[in-house]
Structure 1
Amino acid sequence: MRRSLPLLLAALVALVLAPPAQAAPGFAVAYETIPGQGGTPLKAFVVTPTGQGDGPFPLLVLPSSWGVNDIEYVGAAAKLAYQSGYSVISYTSRGFYDSAGEIDVAGPDTVADVSRVIDWGLAHANGDPARIGVGGISYGAGQSLLAAAADPRIKAVTALSTWTDLARSLYPNETVNAQAVELLLAAGHLTGRPGSVLRDAEAAYRDDRFADVLPISPPRSPATHVSSIKAAVMIGNAWNDGLFAPSQITDFFTALSGPKRLMLSPGDHATAELFGAAGLPNDIWASVGRWFDHHLKGVDNGIDRENPVQVKPNNGGGWRSFPSWAAATTRTDRVPLAADRIGTGWPTIAESGTVLVSGALQGFLNIPVGVSTPLIDRNAAAVWRGAVQWSATTVSGTPRAHLTVTTTAAKTTLYAYLYEVNGLGLGALVTHKPVTITGTGARTVDLALEPVVWDVAAGNRLVLVVDTVDARYKGSSTLGSSVAFGADSWLEVPRS
């Protein structure tokens, strides 16, 4: 029965997505086994155009996300095939489901698989060697960027909900993003076969040796290889991505030297583009199609004349554009922070939210992570209130906290939260960031919070909260210690 399931899925997809018999152009769907790196069998849906000439056709290769199989992009692939004449291969990444091999966390074999699938598409799916694009969501997005650095045949990339720096994503400022790590590990065990790299990484994590995992990050991080990427790159991510936060994205985007486009919008990991992958209307996937059309087919659709940075404010509103990420900030306001002292290791009601859930609520329903600032325990959290903004304003860019701190424990983790707070003291989380400090004594901590575009309503104020416990992260703060903040601390707020 398990062997027949892929064939049934292929038949069902073809039946549901196929245009009327008399329609032209159309598409055909086939379920194939493609030899990956070293001959490892990879399962794939191959969607090819029909009624659109003899080809060859521009070829798109879409590796699946972590824990998802090859049906992930079939809806979008069908649209790309019959509307735009692409030959599209949506395949299950190595080590997951019925693709063979083991999960190597975007290691050399997984990245080389992208090139082997391209080889197969040129030989068997009527692909055009001069017009090759790759793309995907999450794990598929990271693979696509890494493959573009290694395979010069790739001319265009669309990377959605991607990582660019694996260590910064899962270990920001030496603080383990525990909810993200647990989610990835659970999905890997449930849907795939972890290889030695993943097994060793999990063992180190369970043993509180996450720093020992760091050496696997550079070769698996597109940021390491950014100078080798010559393809035209489009990136789409969410402000609240609980796995791959936007700071690593904006830095990577800035470092790209070729044609590029960045789209940042409300939501959590993969939520902003989720429905587009199924073939439903979606702003991100509409840009994916336009990006490939221009850079692979030479269509003059104007995307190259638009500002490359496109953002939606995290708390609602339409798309805004900038010529660069730096241009999103036109000025900064510096807010002085008074001296304070707090105990460590006690949780407060200030929290960053739950991975996938909180960001999705923000993206779909505009329900932010909230807090009642009068109820925050001042013994366990420092709370600094900014001035009331009597006219509407926008936080646009990367807020930065300059903190002079004195710690009494060998390790202390701080969590900084920036809120928009109304007259009743009710706050909506604008952005946040953790940092783990090693050693006792006085020091200066310059903490860049996650980038954001957020409209602050007239009559509200910004409030910065710093505490030492957050359920999303595996911190290092202990009970009985303390942190003192000096009077020469300040918050820098970017404005547009």
Structure 2
Amino acid sequence: MFGYRAAAVLALAATAGTAAVAVPPAAVARAGAPYDYREISIPSVDGVRLDGNVFVPRAKGPHPAIVFISSWSLEDHEYIAQAAKFAAKGYIVLSYTARGFFNSGGGIDVAGPKDAADGSRAIDWLLAHTPVDRSRIGFAGISYGSGISQIVAARDRRVSAVVAMDTWGDLVESLYANETRHMGAYTLLALSGRLTGRLSPETERIMNDFGANRNVPELVRWGKVRSPGAYRDRLNARRVPILISNAYGETLFAPNQLLRHFAGLTGPRRLNLSIGDHATAHLTGLLGLDGRTWNDAHRWFDRHLRGVANGIDREPPIASETAWTRRIETYRDVAAMTRRVERLGLGAPGATARGDGTLGALAPAGWARTLRTGRDSGANAGIVIVSGGLQTFGLPNAMPERLVSRRAAAVWSTPVLTATRRLRGVPRLDLTVTPSRRTGTLVSYLYDVDARGTARLITNEAHSLLRGTPGRPHKITVNLQATAYDVPAGHRLMLVLDTRDPIYADAGTPGGALTVRAPSTLDLPLG
């Protein structure tokens, strides 16, 4: 099993590798191009200067403009191929490296107030140095740049539209959902940030506290300020058009918090959901290649900055890709993705499955299954970015069912399905759990198992009890991450519960145990 550091290095290589092969500036600043290109330096708050570049059309202005903000651990040339495409259509395109990274000054602020101020200073620079139409300025970015873009739009009325790729709505939930530290995501961000940039003193302190599991209230306060969802009222008040493009398999910014953020937006909005992981659906676009998500980014800005009647504002707001089929389904809103819910009662784990809505057979006096804390059953959520990213190319996170240890896990299975189950939305577990100690972590996995016993991971989630009463049953709800997945006839659904996974921190104590018992249920969202 890969450790956190090895997983982080692999994920960083998978993400940053595209930057190494990005289109060089000389290739886009060619003779005869309908724009001029130059490297720039943008003055910002605290005497910091931001490294950047700008494309300016040679035709007479004023022109609409797009500001791209770099991803975490990348720099302003990340978007150069797409910037050239936009510039060829008449946009001024400014890209800058977020503060604290590479040649930009200051310390990494993690989408904090200084990052928001930097976005406004980029607009100031455009107004002072280019023939920009101040009423038609858009912001965009992948990952880190996407969250900052939304926050800048909430704080600066000069932003007219946003494209946010691989973004987040709630940073606290992204890193600390269900009071469980997401150590895979944290390790990737901390390691890559230190390798490619300079953490501010506040960021250094917060990251150290997170790693040591201390000062959690301060972490929550810090994260809320850096959550676009905290600024929805401002975005809605101005009806800022926002296009969001994310992946179902996200291991950095998992989909549930993002779906809630999107559902709360009331202005012009669009959500593209793809199969994959963080940034994997957008990487080819950084090389200038066409693709659904980048094509929609062009259409979105063309509509809301140039006034082109291309119809994107009249299409259903949600376009969702179904796992393995590449089929795109459209919906009017998040709630419409799930048409009905099928509830399955959990019976005795490992018993013969029944076809009456029960996973396992109910023992006459009920059932209970005790799981020792800190034991990894072999079921796992994979390697951050890498495992989910491979799904972009049709390679599932799969394992032989027989490798899941029944000694370390509770396992339930449906009968062989006679018809396809179209999972659309958020599977939900309602569990009765009795801890032997005050703390403990329960990790839930939902698998698709074929006739040969190969189990493909559909979704997962972790939940920690941090203030449990030993010996007393607790009712807990676990919302597994949203999915769009067809489980074919002839396959089975398998639910696995254990107490440890490499991408999550384990809140269990040595010698502790969690006992899952009746009544407990699994709700399947069906489309």
Q: TM-score, normalised by structure 1?
A: 0.94
Aligned to 2:11: none
How many angstroms does 1:462 deviate by? 1.1
1:258 maps to amino acid: G
Say if 1:45 and 1:89, in contact at 8 Å, map to a contact too: yes
Structure 1: unaligned runs, 5 residues or longer: 1-8
Aligned to 1:65: 71
Superimposed CA distance per residue, residues 282-316 of structure 1 (whole angstroms, 9 cap, x where no aligned partner): 21111000000001111010101111000101333
Indicate which of 305, 321, 325 corresponds to 1:316.
325
Q: Map residues 351-366 of structure 1 onto 2, 5 A cutoff.
A: 351-364=380-393, 366=394
Question: Secondary structure of the equivalent of 1:154?
Answer: coil
* Mapped partners of 1:38, 1:300: distance in 2: 42
Aligned to 2:254: 245
Question: Secondary structure of the equivalent of 1:217?
Answer: helix
Aligned to 1:487: 518
Aligned to 2:461: 433
* RMSD (Å) for aligned C-alpha atoms: 1.5
Question: Secondary structure of the equivalent of 2:511?
Answer: coil
Question: Secondary structure of the equivalent of 1:267?
Answer: coil
Aligned to 2:374: 345
1:460 maps to amino acid: H
1:304 maps to amino acid: D
Indicate which of 385, 400, 413 corresponds to 1:385.
413
Question: Secondary structure of the equivalent of 1:115?
Answer: helix
Sort the Cα spacing of 1:457 and 1:19 in 2 relative to 1 into closer, same or farther, 3 A.
Answer: farther
* Mapped partners of 2:83, 2:97: distance in 1: 14
2:427 maps to amino acid: P
* Mapped partners of 2:83, 2:45: distance in 1: 24
Aligned to 2:123: 118
1:374 maps to amino acid: R
2:488 maps to amino acid: A
Indicate which of 442, 445, 450 corresponds to 1:422.
450
How many angstroms does 1:189 deviate by? 0.9
Aligned to 1:5: none
How many angstroms does 1:388 deviate by? 2.2
Superimposed CA distance per residue, residues 367-395 of structure 1 (whole angstroms, 9 cap, x where no aligned partner): 21123233322221111112322122310
Q: Which has the larger displacement, 355-364 or 12-21? A: 12-21
Say if 1:104 and 1:196, in contact at 8 Å, map to a contact too: no
Structure 2: unaligned runs, 5 residues or longer: 1-19, 348-366
Say if 2:25 and 2:80, in contact at 8 Å, map to a contact too: no
Aligned to 1:199: 204
Indicate which of 159, 162, 179 corresponds to 2:164.
159
How many angstroms does 1:125 deviate by? 2.1
Question: Secondary structure of the equivalent of 1:144?
Answer: helix
Aligned to 2:44: 36
Residue 477 (1) aligns with residue 508 (2): yes
Question: Secondary structure of the equivalent of 2:419?
Answer: coil
Question: Secondary structure of the equivalent of 2:407?
Answer: coil
Residue 223 (1) aligns with residue 223 (2): no
1:171 maps to amino acid: Y
Q: Which has the larger displacement, 326-335 or 372-381? A: 372-381
How many angstroms does 1:353 deviate by? 0.4
* Mapped partners of 2:215, 2:379: distance in 1: 25
1:223 maps to amino acid: G
Superimposed CA distance per residue, residues 341-368 of structure 1 (whole angstroms, 9 cap, x where no aligned partner): 122221111000000110111112x221
1:448 maps to amino acid: N
The runs of at least 4 aligned residues of structure 1 exceeding 3 Å deviation read none
How many angstroms does 1:18 deviate by? 4.2
Indicate which of 167, 172, 184 corresponds to 2:189.
184
Q: Which has the larger displacement, 340-349 or 235-244? A: 340-349
Say if 1:343 and 1:380, in contact at 8 Å, map to a contact too: yes
Say if 2:374 and 2:506, in contact at 8 Å, map to a contact too: no
Say if 1:371 and 1:426, in contact at 8 Å, map to a contact too: yes
Residue 455 (1) aligns with residue 486 (2): yes
* Mapped partners of 1:284, 1:161: distance in 2: 11
Sort the Cα spacing of 1:461 and 1:112 in 2 relative to 1 into closer, same or farther, 3 A.
Answer: same
Indicate which of 171, 180, 183 corresponds to 1:175.
180
* Mapped partners of 1:106, 1:183: distance in 2: 17
Say if 1:335 and 1:386, in contact at 8 Å, map to a contact too: no
* Mapped partners of 2:101, 2:177: distance in 1: 27
1:451 maps to amino acid: A
1:356 maps to amino acid: I
How many angstroms does 1:495 deviate by? 0.6
Say if 1:67 and 1:188, in contact at 8 Å, map to a contact too: yes
Aligned to 1:372: 400
Superimposed CA distance per residue, residues 98-140 of structure 1 (whole angstroms, 9 cap, x where no aligned partner): 1111111111111111011011112212211010100101110
How many angstroms does 1:61 deviate by? 0.6
Question: Secondary structure of the equivalent of 1:153?
Answer: coil
* Mapped partners of 1:34, 1:54: distance in 2: 24
Superimposed CA distance per residue, residues 56-79 of structure 1 (whole angstroms, 9 cap, x where no aligned partner): 110111111111011011110000
Sort the Cα spacing of 1:424 and 1:100 in 2 relative to 1 into closer, same or farther, 3 A.
Answer: same
Q: TM-score, normalised by structure 2?
A: 0.88
Q: Which has the larger displacement, 176-185 or 422-431? A: 422-431
